[in-house]
Amino acid sequence: MPAIAFLECVRCHHHVSADVPQTLCPLCAGSLYVRYDMDSLKHTAKRVNPARYAAESAASLGMWRYRDVLPSVTPVTLAEGWTPMLRSKRYPNLFVKEEGANPTGTFKARGLCLAVTMAKHYGLQHLAVPSAGNAAGALAAYAAAAGIAAHIFMPKDVPFANYLEGVVYGADVTMVDGLISDCARMVGERIKAQKETGTDPSQVWFDISTLKEPFRVEGKKTMGYELVEQLGWEYPDAVFYPTGGGVGLIGMWKAFEEMEALGWVTGKRPRMFALQSSGCAPVAQAYAEGKDVSTFFEHASTFAAGLRVPKPYGDVIILEIVRASGGAALAYSDEAILASVLDWAKQEGIFLSPEGAAATAAYDSLIASGDLKSTDRVVLFNTGGGLKYTDMTAEAMHLRRPGTLPTSMPVGGIITPV
Amino acid sequence: MPAIAFLECVRCHHHVSADVPQTLCPLCAGSLYVRYDMDSLKHTAKRVNPARYAAESAASLGMWRYRDVLPSVTPVTLAEGWTPMLRSKRYPNLFVKEEGANPTGTFKARGLCLAVTMAKHYGLQHLAVPSAGNAAGALAAYAAAAGIAAHIFMPKDVPFANYLEGVVYGADVTMVDGLISDCARMVGERIKAQKETGTDPSQVWFDISTLKEPFRVEGKKTMGYELVEQLGWEYPDAVFYPTGGGVGLIGMWKAFEEMEALGWVTGKRPRMFALQSSGCAPVAQAYAEGKDVSTFFEHASTFAAGLRVPKPYGDVIILEIVRASGGAALAYSDEAILASVLDWAKQEGIFLSPEGAAATAAYDSLIASGDLKSTDRVVLFNTGGGLKYTDMTAEAMHLRRPGTLPTSMPVGGIITPV
């Protein structure tokens, strides 16, 4: 595992040290990326090391199989990453990256695994996060594993699973009558107040919001390494990524850049598609209007809870990547998303999250319009398992447990054995 | 992948052919095991093949990494198996096998993957299963993937996730005002009636109940191969297995037998512990009373839904294995189980299923009593992810979503941002 050379601002390219915890660029408040000495890595990092992989296959390495390109620290791990890549049974060139197999059931585990690992390394004692739900659950789990206090702020109407995770993992849970943007503001205000009132520095919360510290994106980049390795160290033609905060997409782009610098992959990078719900589509709207930055999306509402981010912090970077790659940012209705959840469950045996189904809805639509060819090799991310959304999906289906509401029983019935 | 030599009755050792679908032994109604030509396998099957594993690590092989010892067919796969083995942060010799990472979130995926694979191979069109919940969800998923009709029968008070799975995967769902034993009787009666009324044989349901056909146990045996491989091809001192139907435990014992025949592992087999809830403890009761067979457990009731099997079909085999291995069958109260769920979530960052927490409760208790030493290497199965039980676990905690019940808010509150 390599030492971190420095942290680099993605906006003004200023360098800061990784010896102490950092949040944003001290000069311009841009997001910080982890940088390594790539020339030296080129000689030491291994793309494939058959002997090592065979020996290690017995362990549960997960995303730490890429430790040659991750910070040199002792991982706080729950066996995150190295998720399955499923080939669609109907579309032979479509692959579903099943992030539901991660601890806490979503891709959020990758970023929070690395961010909590580094927080432990730095000796931080209090981590705070605003979340649409799944980041809160993942932080709660990794903080519990690390013995660090987690302070999580979520909208009051997140999937019930997210609330329960916060409680069982012993986090300090605050449910907010608002959206993730309100949660973010509250976290910022709390930390400001702690500092102003002279709170013992060791007790001041560290804001672990995505892109406001350098390690969540660094953990998420492993999705980029994995998809390329799982395709035999080749790029696909396109990547479909459900976009709330959009940091998974940003992280994959960083991975592509690194892999090219290391000589691990060559050729044309994939077209990157950012998929949203029309109930909360700030990036798709900015893309359609030809803008470089998104506008706060008013009255955000969708059962794809993870997409309910009315103004993603990384909007500028996402729009840049989408355009540079020849992709697009697109939004689909909750009805189309639900229809795609049911289509994939019944036809493929895969229960997608609503977020993942925004991507499958997009795939169908782009194949139908001819913008995508059925021969194009596509990797589509199911960013979380469908089981994490039982209440949201059942509500969208107007489905209740048989017996609790007589009119809502779609199949079978309750039978009393004789 | 080897051809199946024959199917062998575990009771009278009669051989039947695997060329056609089989259920129970035609002579004595015992369960059938898949048998291969082990002498020939000994020369062809590879325990470790570094070159192959390195090349294959890019694919999502899951339990099919053991295809050298699985029937030679084209898998209907959703990337089941090869689940993480997590080392406890508090007990350095305790490993948690995280079966929640499987498709549909439980170990049931392994058995139903292989059973549906074989059903497709045989051309079966209708599969029926009585279930405590998770087998129904897994059958629904694999049947959808295979294009086969699934008829699932579950108690009406299963975790909501199980009901939703059945519906979204398009299964024919029947909710029963009773237990899995009632469901089993109903499936049997339906099939009998279909045959008596001259239903077209291709439309008669095939009963895919565990141990009533040979392939579910064959899929579950992969847990035995995995735990031994993940420990470096060595046996642990003990295996802790939450026991409803108990077929995972039975399958692992078959795996140990095979691995020894193949020369893949030597030494003393692990002590096998079967763990139950005192709300439904037929095997623990029979064990305590020195009996060879269990008695139907009246008024079965526990939030560990998967343990609600009042008389497991494999009780005789389970009791034999437990005793032969120097293990035990034990039961713990729902209160102790819930306490262990919360302990593991808060201290280790692992959200266990109630079933898994019956095993962790047992571990604590046996360490305390001295029946187990902290230096004993133990593999404990979390048979499903905690997220599959959000409603059951929340109910056991008397927890409601904040705002829906003012008295039940354990942490934080709803805050309206100003």
| Any domain includes B138 | no
Chain A residues inside the 8 Å CB shell of B105: 385, 387
Cβ contact, residue pair A415, B98, below 8 Å: no
CA distance A292 to chain B (A): 29
Is B401 an interface residue toward A (CB < 8 Å)?
yes
Decide if A101 contacts A84 (C-beta within 8 A): yes
CA contacts within 13 A on the Cβ side of B128? 19
**pLDDT score at B400:** 81
What is d(CA A238, CA A383) in angstroms, rounded to the nearest whole number?
Answer: 16
Buried b or exposed e, range A15-48, using 16+ CB within 10 angstroms: ebebeebbbbbeeeebbbbbbbeeeebeeebebe
**Tokens standing for residue A140:** 């709660």
**pLDDT score at B183:** 96
Length of chain A (residues): 418
Residue by residue, pLDDT tens for chain A (418 residues) are 788 999 999 999 999 999 999 999 999 999 999 999 988 888 888 776 666 666 565 556 899 989 889 998 999 999 999 999 999 999 999 999 999 999 999 999 999 999 999 999 999 999 999 999 999 999 999 999 999 999 999 999 999 999 999 999 999 999 999 999 999 999 999 999 999 999 999 999 999 999 999 999 999 999 999 999 999 899 999 999 999 999 999 999 999 999 999 999 999 999 999 999 999 999 999 999 999 999 999 999 999 999 999 999 999 999 999 999 999 999 999 999 999 999 999 999 999 999 999 999 999 999 999 999 999 999 999 999 999 999 999 999 999 877 553 333 333 445 656 5
B374 or B42, higher pLDDT: B374
Decide if A166 contacts A182 (C-beta within 8 A): no
Residue B41 binned pLDDT confidence (cut-offs 50, 70, 90): confident
Q: For chain B, what percent of residues have pLDDT higher than 90?
A: 87
CA angle A106, A111, A117 (to 5 degrees): 125
Residue B410 has pLDDT above 90, yes or no: no
| Any domain includes A117 | no
For an interface test with B, the pick among A47, A95, A169, A344 (most B C-beta atoms closer than 10 Å) comes out as A169
What is d(CA B394, CA B168) in angstroms, rounded to the nearest whole number?
Answer: 23
Decide if B58 contacts A33 (C-beta within 8 A): no
Cβ contact, residue pair B170, A403, below 8 Å: no
Domain housing B251: 85-105+216-396
**Tokens standing for residue B272:** 């096998």
Radius of gyration from C-alpha coordinates of chain B? 21
pLDDT tens sequence across B292-332: 999 999 999 999 999 999 999 999 999 999 999 999 999 99
| Any domain includes A172 | no
pLDDT tens sequence across B161-190: 999 999 999 999 999 999 999 999 999 999
| Helix-strand-coil split of chain B, %, nearest 5 | 45, 15, 40
Length of chain B (residues): 418
Partner-chain residue, chosen from B175, B402, B403, that has the shortest CB–CB distance to A402? B175
CA distance from start to end of chain B: 65
| Any domain includes B402 | no
Chain A residues inside the 8 Å CB shell of B165: 351, 387
Q: Which residues pair with B352 in a beta bridge?
A: B385
Q: Which residues contact A249 (CB under 8 A, 6 or more apart)?
A: A239, A241, A243, A272, A274, A318, A321, A322
| Any domain includes B72 | no
Cβ contact, residue pair B186, A417, below 8 Å: yes
| Any domain includes B352 | yes
Average pLDDT, chain B: 92
Question: What is the count of structural domains for chain B?
Answer: 1
pLDDT tens sequence across B256-299: 999 999 999 999 999 999 999 999 999 999 999 999 999 999 99
Cβ contact, residue pair B84, A62, below 8 Å: yes
CATH code where residue A259 lies: 3.40.50.1100
Residue B252 has pLDDT above 70, yes or no: yes
Q: Which residues contact B406 (CB under 8 A, 6 or more apart)?
A: none
Name residues 119-178 of chain A within 8 A of B (Cβ).
141-146, 156, 160-161, 163-178
Residue B58 has pLDDT above 70, yes or no: no
Is B38 an interface residue toward A (CB < 8 Å)?
no
| Any domain includes B383 | yes
CA B49: distance to chain centroid? Answer: 28
| Any domain includes A236 | yes
A405, burial (CB in 10 Å: exposed 0-12, middle 13-18, buried 19+): exposed
**pLDDT score at A405:** 38
CA angle B418, A25, A106 (to 5 degrees): 65
CA distance B320 to chain A (A): 30
